[in-house]
Amino acid sequence: MRIATWNVNSIRTRAGRALGLLQRHDLDVLALQETKCTDAQFPVEPFEQAGYQVARHGLNQWNGVAIISRAGLEDVRTGFPGMPGWGDPEPAPEARALGARCGGVDVWSLYIPNGRELDNPHYAYKLGWLARLRDAAAGWLAAAPQAQILLTGDWNVAPRDEDVWDMAAFEGKTHVSPAERAAFEAIVAAGYADVVRPYAPGPGTYTYWDYQKLRFPRREGMRIDFALASPAAAGRVTGAFIDRDERKGKGASDHAPVVVELG
């Protein structure tokens, strides 16, 4: 079974690229982030015609997550227990988490809050969101230690110095702060291993390149998209790669897809 995660940056703009991705890599499951549309606006038909089922969760033009599967799509869950909300004056849940059981694997499509700046309330929101995700994910494993769970998506955290092209450029910036890295590592410590890095080691291995400043041709990127697997799921992984070619050309998302093969 082949499972991918991709921050598509608008599914309506890139449905064709998503379909090409499914076909090119013979994907069974594709977790999408930043679909940027409501459920009603989501282009479901082309995926169904290609033989896939679609679960999507979008509330407005921001965020939005989806899971596209031809390996079954059961027990669909929007958000996770304890997931923090955002907004003033009344914080409300955002469309940042969608889970579904696909062929016996609990796949999560996650879009972790960006954080914006270290002194921005969004940064505290990001840390709280990751902390509650850790709690929920630890609970799932405590309840079912043999569960096959994949936490995939855009984590908006670069866990290691080698995951950005130049640490000096990130002085005082989000994505590399000790608190963000600790929040990410807490989820690893809860039993979820990064199953891609062993097959796609750094330095210089990235999943995101800013549209601005010629970051992609200059090879100035960040590794912020991950697939973290529970022990039972990690034990099935036979390979993984980052589809850097998908970032090329006109009309590309600013993120590259990350693909995991389960035996």
Partner DNA sequence: ATGGTAGTCCGACTA
Q: Does residue 12 touch DNA according to CB under 7 A?
A: yes
Contact 200, 240 (CB under 8 A): yes
Of 7-15, 67-75, 186-194, 235-243: span binding DNA (CB under 7 A):
7-15
CA distance from start to end of the chain: 6
Binding mask 147-166 for DNA (x = CB under 7 A): ---------x----------
Nearest-angstrom CA–CA distance, 123 and 3: 30
Q: In the Cβ-directed half-sphere of 217, how many Cα atoms lie within 13 Å?
A: 5
- 228 token code pair: 């973290």
**Which of 6, 18, 21, 36 is in the footprint of DNA by CB under 7 A?**
36
Type of residue numbered 80: F
Q: How far is the CB of 222 from DNA (least distance, A)?
A: 10
**Which of 37, 54, 105, 149 is in the footprint of DNA by CB under 7 A?**
37
| DSSP 8-state symbol, 145 | T
Give the nearer residue to DNA in terms of CB position, either 101 or 175: 175
Q: Does residue 170 touch DNA according to CB under 7 A?
A: no
Of 76-84, 110-118, 186-194, 227-235: span binding DNA (CB under 7 A):
110-118
Contact 67, 107 (CB under 8 A): yes
Of 58-66, 188-196, 228-236, 237-245: span binding DNA (CB under 7 A):
58-66
Q: Does residue 41 touch DNA according to CB under 7 A?
A: yes
**Which of 212, 217, 238, 249 is in the footprint of DNA by CB under 7 A?**
212
Contact 8, 247 (CB under 8 A): no
Nearest-angstrom CA–CA distance, 235 and 112: 25
Contact 79, 129 (CB under 8 A): no
* Contact residues: DNA, CB under 7 A: 9-10, 12-13, 36-37, 41, 61-63, 113-114, 116, 122, 156, 211-213, 251
